[in-house]
């Protein structure tokens, strides 16, 4: 006769030892003899749960409950099966029945907490975990689980204390250290978080997730090399860890290792094709790399996978805006706001798109919404200042413009000395320090005489490549060069950034210091260049067609050398062509001098047909040389770059070519500049329409400088003397 008790003891022993195959052999022998043996039925169900055979586990556990309706542990284990199947409501019901039958079982309360947390019922989950810790105060796992629920509900202080209690009870509890690190990271206590993550990895060096989390904290604290090493350690332990590939990509991207970052994101996506965040990050890297079409595709894929991905809509809008697709960009920002009405960044970017379209009132309203949601939103304040200044609202505009000094990407000096408020200096020394671009320095150095008039000793710190040009200017007692560290060896009492001076002096249109020439050109250099250029009697035009590609407005403000073709092409049949009906013989009437520097200067090697152009780029060491060249020219035609400012500052006639929506300093609806009396503005009438601008420039050249056809060989239409002459 079969001894059921003996079989049960042997099966249970194997079960406890983890030898599940041996255990089930004995359990099945029992059921073969006694089909309604309740405990064996329960244990077979539990064993199937342990093996992941969830359907079989359900059958046996329900059978155990049928045999013994008050079987609390069967209800608990059935709840675990249902939870593993994602049937959280059923699991919660099973756990509650188990608790009703056995209210003092801490483990069941903890399991109920798990199911409630998965269901998103955090307050109820926290209550269950608290009950578990009350029933068994020494259960480290329950304290850790309570901490996780508290953290998810935003109660970070309580979460941290719960994790610390779990660690006190179980000092080698790696998971609790990891969770503590996550809570500390969320609180912004990065050094403590990193220490906790390091402890987690020390206790469990083979835990890839802990290394990945450590990497994320290191990255957030700016320790990118260490972050990359941690993510790579995670991947060495778990090569198919898509999240670690994604995080490695974000760290590499912060180091501007864009090709490596893109490769990491693509690897993450090969492992996890439905990974919306990786597509989003890939889009960011591609956009930074200048691969805008690919970036747009990546953002759209992220949105396809995650239709409520508001931030992806925002960045998609930025990419579309960079392509000049302003209506599509605005629609993308609008979609982001429909998903997340409190998305301040979307309002700011929508404002920028509206601004670029010339809808300035709507743009300001959008900036206002962004600031209403995030009062210290630097970019929105700065963008609002641009719109206010552009519309001549100087009083508010200058005040808002001070927000530029708080920008994250701004490299600016820090001083112990106080900032000047515009009061009388009474002999104190003041450091006025240049900021932003070279054109800004050239434009606003005009304010230094006003500073000096307040009765102090003025020290001006400028960019090294402007030092030689500006050292002869008025308005300062001493001039020094900027250093890479922005530190100054000179002593001074107070300081002020250069571009804060218009606001300090309450500048209006009527009070702009607008001397015709306030920068003096080195006369020796002027003479040297006169000897070089003076033998040429042609009408001399200096040209610049592109600014720095790093400038955030470069897409709009720069054109190409090819756009100058209407001024030079002898095959142009239009009635206003310089060359219409003319046989060009000998020296042409117009000579263009390229003042272009940077990557775009290579375009001079392939000039438009008919352009007589001389490339001076390699001979211009700094702006002192450029100024001396300009002094020997008849005209400068430039897009919105420092050269345009330089020409205006030395009083040379300069025609500045502006995009449809220009920088704030050029204002609106005028063809002159209150900043430079010698400047004329040529604006795009519609976005990206450089052809219309150059048609107007061509007509202006003919009408303003008296260029006309002069026939010096009336009796011989093919005379070598027939040429274009400049009539004085």
Per residue in 684-720, pLDDT (tens digit) is: 999 889 999 999 999 999 887 755 323 333 333 333 3
Separation of alpha carbons 149 and 101, rounded Å: 25
Question: Which residue's entry shows tokens 């835990």?
Answer: 207
Domain ranges of the chain: 308-410, 429-511, 523-726
Separation of alpha carbons 393 and 400, rounded Å: 11
Question: Which residue's entry shows tokens 């599940």?
Answer: 20
188, 189, 228 from 221: Cα distances, Å: 9, 10, 13
pLDDT at 576: 43
Question: Which residue's entry shows tokens 């009703």?
Answer: 100
Separation of alpha carbons 697 and 527, rounded Å: 30
Share of the chain above pLDDT 90, in %: 82
84 contacts 54 by C-beta, under 8 angstroms: yes
Q: What pLDDT digit, counting tens, does each position of 507-556 carry?
A: 999 999 988 899 999 999 999 999 988 887 889 999 999 988 877 777 88
pLDDT at 554: 77
Copy the structure tokens of residue 556: 């709009």
338, 339, 346, 347 from 335: Cα distances, Å: 5, 6, 9, 11
Q: What pLDDT digit, counting tens, does each position of 67-102 carry?
A: 999 999 999 999 999 999 999 999 999 999 999 999
Smallest Cα–Cα separation from 151: which of 107, 184, 119, 191? 184
Separation of alpha carbons 303 and 40, rounded Å: 51
SS3 442: helix
Provide the CATH topology of domain 429-511.
Answer: Rossmann fold (3.40.50)
Copy the structure tokens of residue 116: 């409630």
Separation of alpha carbons 508 and 394, rounded Å: 6
Four-residue CA torsion sign, 619, 623, 628, 629 = positive
Cα 461 from chain centre: 29
pLDDT at 587: 37
pLDDT at 1: 58
Q: Which range among 170-174, 462-466, 722-726 shows the weakest confidence by mean pLDDT?
A: 722-726
Q: What pLDDT digit, counting tens, does each position of 315-341 carry?
A: 999 999 999 899 999 999 999 999 999
Mean pLDDT of all residues in the chain? 91
254, 354, 682, 707 from 359: Cα distances, Å: 34, 5, 20, 39
Copy the structure tokens of residue 189: 């206590």
Separation of alpha carbons 571 and 609, rounded Å: 9
Q: Which range among 51-65, 239-253, 393-407, 482-496 shows the weakest confidence by mean pLDDT?
A: 482-496
Please, where are the H alpha helices in 534-631?
Answer: 554-557, 623-631
598 contacts 639 by C-beta, under 8 angstroms: no
**DSSP assignment of 339-369, as one string?**
H-TT-HHHHHHHHHHHHHTT-HHHHHHHHHH
The residue count for the chain: 728
- Judged against a pLDDT cut of 60, whether residue 588 lies above it is answered with no
231 contacts 211 by C-beta, under 8 angstroms: yes
Q: Which range among 156-165, 290-299, 420-429, 479-488 shows the weakest confidence by mean pLDDT?
A: 479-488
Pairing of strands 478-481, 613-615: unpaired
Q: How confident is the model at residue 486 (pLDDT cuts 50, 70, 90)?
A: low
Copy the structure tokens of residue 724: 């274009």
- Phi/psi of residue 568, nearest 5 degrees: -130, -15
Question: Which residue's entry shows tokens 């009906």?
Answer: 581
Over its C-alpha atoms, the chain yields an Rg (Å, rounded) of 37
SS3 28: helix
Separation of alpha carbons 175 and 463, rounded Å: 53
Q: How confident is the model at residue 234 (pLDDT cuts 50, 70, 90)?
A: very high
- Measured distance between the N- and C-terminal CA atoms of the chain, rounded to whole angstroms: 130
Q: How confident is the model at residue 584 (pLDDT cuts 50, 70, 90)?
A: very low
Separation of alpha carbons 414 and 547, rounded Å: 29
- Judged against a pLDDT cut of 60, whether residue 727 lies above it is answered with no
Q: Which residues have C-beta within 8 Å of that of residue 364, sequence separation ≥ 6? A: 351, 384, 387, 388
Q: Kindly state the greatest CA–CA separation across the chain.
A: 139
pLDDT at 412: 66
192 contacts 177 by C-beta, under 8 angstroms: no
pTM: 0.82
- Judged against a pLDDT cut of 90, whether residue 418 lies above it is answered with yes
180 contacts 160 by C-beta, under 8 angstroms: yes
Smallest Cα–Cα separation from 671: which of 650, 688, 689, 654? 654
Pairing of strands 707-710, 723-726: antiparallel
SS3 655: strand
Pairing of strands 654-658, 679-683: parallel
Q: Which residues have C-beta within 8 Å of that of residue 157, sequence separation ≥ 6? A: none
pLDDT at 534: 80
Q: Which range among 194-208, 601-615, 669-683 shows the weakest confidence by mean pLDDT?
A: 601-615
Q: Give the burial class of 191: count Cβ atoms within 10 A of its Cβ; 0-12 exposed, 13-18 middle, 19 or more buried.
A: exposed
Fold matches, 429-511 and 523-726: yes
Separation of alpha carbons 380 and 425, rounded Å: 34
- E strand spans, 394-501: 429-433, 457-462, 478-481, 494-497
pLDDT at 460: 97
Q: How confident is the model at residue 722 (pLDDT cuts 50, 70, 90)?
A: very low
Q: Which residues have C-beta within 8 Å of that of residue 308, sequence separation ≥ 6? A: 339
539 contacts 567 by C-beta, under 8 angstroms: no
Q: How confident is the model at residue 132 (pLDDT cuts 50, 70, 90)?
A: very high
For the packed helices 54-67 and 72-84, what is the interaxial angle rounded to 10 degrees? 160
* CATH of region 308-410: 1.25.40.10
Q: What pLDDT digit, counting tens, does each position of 374-403 carry?
A: 999 999 999 999 999 999 999 999 999 999
Separation of alpha carbons 524 and 468, rounded Å: 13
Pairing of strands 494-497, 613-615: unpaired
State whether CATH 3.40.50.2000 applies to domain 523-726: yes
Smallest Cα–Cα separation from 680: which of 664, 665, 661, 666? 666
Separation of alpha carbons 695 and 699, rounded Å: 6
Q: Which residues have C-beta within 8 Å of that of residue 54, sequence separation ≥ 6? A: 48, 81, 84, 85
Pairing of strands 654-658, 590-594: unpaired
- Judged against a pLDDT cut of 70, whether residue 571 lies above it is answered with no
Copy the structure tokens of residue 613: 């152009």
Separation of alpha carbons 518 and 46, rounded Å: 89
């Amino acid at each position: 006769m079969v001894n059921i008790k003996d079989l049960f003891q042997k099966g249970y022993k194997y079960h406890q030892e983890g030898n599940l195959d041996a255990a089930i052999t004995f359990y099945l022998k029992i059921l073969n003899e006694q089909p309604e043996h309740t405990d064996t039925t329960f244990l077979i169900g539990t064993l199937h749960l342990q093996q992941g055979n969830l359907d079989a586990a359900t059958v046996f556990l329900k059978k155990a409950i049928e045999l013994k309706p008050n079987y609390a542990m069967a209800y608990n284990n059935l709840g675990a099966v249902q939870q593993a199947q994602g049937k959280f409501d059923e699991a919660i019901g099973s756990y509650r029945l188990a608790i009703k039958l056995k209210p003092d079982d801490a483990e069941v309360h903890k399991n109920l907490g798990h199911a409630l947390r998965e269901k998103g019922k955090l307050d109820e989950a926290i209550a269950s975990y608290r009950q578990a810790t009350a029933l068994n105060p020494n259960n480290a796992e329950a304290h850790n689980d309570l901490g996780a629920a508290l953290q998810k509900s935003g109660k970070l202080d309580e979460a941290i204390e719960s994790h610390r209690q779990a660690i006190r009870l179980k000092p080698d509890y790696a998971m609790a250290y990891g969770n503590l690190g996550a809570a500390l990271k969320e609180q912004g206590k990065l050094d403590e978080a990193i220490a906790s993550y390091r402890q987690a990895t020390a206790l469990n060096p083979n835990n890839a997730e802990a290394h990945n989390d450590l990497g994320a904290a290191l990255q957030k604290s700016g320790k990118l090399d260490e972050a990359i090493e941690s993510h790579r350690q995670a991947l060495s332990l778990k090569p198919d860890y898509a999240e670690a590939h994604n995080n490695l990509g974000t760290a590499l991207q912060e180091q501007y290792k864009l090709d490596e970052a893109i490769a990491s994101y693509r690897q993450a996506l090969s492992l996890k094709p439905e990974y919306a965040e990786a597509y989003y990050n890939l889009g960011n890297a591609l956009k930074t790399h200048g691969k805008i079409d690919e970036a747009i595709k990546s953002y759209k894929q992220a949105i396809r996978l995650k239709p409520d991905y508001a931030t992806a809509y925002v960045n998609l809008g930025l990419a579309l805006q960079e392509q000049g697709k302003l209506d599509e960009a605005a629609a993308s920002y609008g979609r982001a706001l429909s998903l997340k009405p409190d998305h301040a960044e979307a309002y700011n970017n929508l404002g920028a798109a509206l601004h670029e379209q010339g809808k300035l009132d709507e743009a300001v309203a959008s900036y206002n919404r962004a600031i209403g949601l995030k009062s210290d939103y630097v970019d929105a304040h700065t963008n609002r200042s641009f719109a206010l200044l552009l519309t001549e609202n100087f009083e508010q505009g200058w005040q808002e413009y001070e927000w530029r000094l708080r920008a994250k990407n701004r490299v600016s000096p820090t001083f112990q000395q106080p900032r000047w408020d515009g009061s009388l200096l009474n002999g104190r020394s003041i450091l006025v320090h240049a900021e932003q671009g070279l054109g800004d320095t050239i434009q606003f150095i005009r304010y230094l005489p006003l500073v000096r008039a307040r009765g102090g000793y003025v020290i001006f710190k400028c960019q090294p490549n402007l030092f030689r040009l500006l050292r002869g200017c008025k308005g300062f007692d001493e001039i020094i060069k900027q250093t890479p560290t922005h530190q100054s060896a000179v002593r001074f009492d107070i300081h002020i950034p250069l571009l804060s001076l218009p606001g300090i002096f309450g500048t209006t249109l009527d009070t702009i210091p607008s001397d015709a020439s306030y920068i003096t050109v080195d006369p020796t250099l002027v003479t040297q260049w006169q000897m070089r250029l003076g033998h040429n009697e042609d009408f001399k035009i200096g040209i610049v067609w592109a600014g720095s590609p790093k400038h955030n407005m470069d897409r709009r403000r720069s054109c190409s050398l090819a756009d100058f073709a209407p001024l030079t092409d002898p095959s142009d049949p239009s009635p206003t062509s310089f060359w219409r009906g003319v046989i060009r013989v000998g020296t042409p009437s117009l000579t263009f001098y390229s003042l272009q520097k940077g990557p775009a200067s290579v375009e001079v090697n392939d000039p438009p047909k008919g352009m007589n152009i001389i490339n001076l780029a390699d001979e211009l060491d700094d702006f002192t040389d450029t100024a001396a060249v300009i002094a020997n020219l008849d005209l400068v035609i430039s897009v919105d770059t420092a050269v345009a400012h330089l020409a205006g500052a030395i009083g040379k006639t300069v025609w500045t070519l502006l995009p449809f929506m220009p920088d704030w300093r050029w204002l609106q609806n005028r063809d002159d500049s209150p900043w430079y009396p010698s400047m004329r503005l040529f604006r795009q009438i519609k976005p990206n329409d450089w052809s219309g601008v150059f048609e107007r420039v061509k007509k202006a050249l003919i009408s303003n400088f008296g260029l006309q056809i002069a026939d010096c060989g009336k009796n011989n239409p093919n005379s070598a003397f027939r040429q274009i002459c400049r009539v004085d």
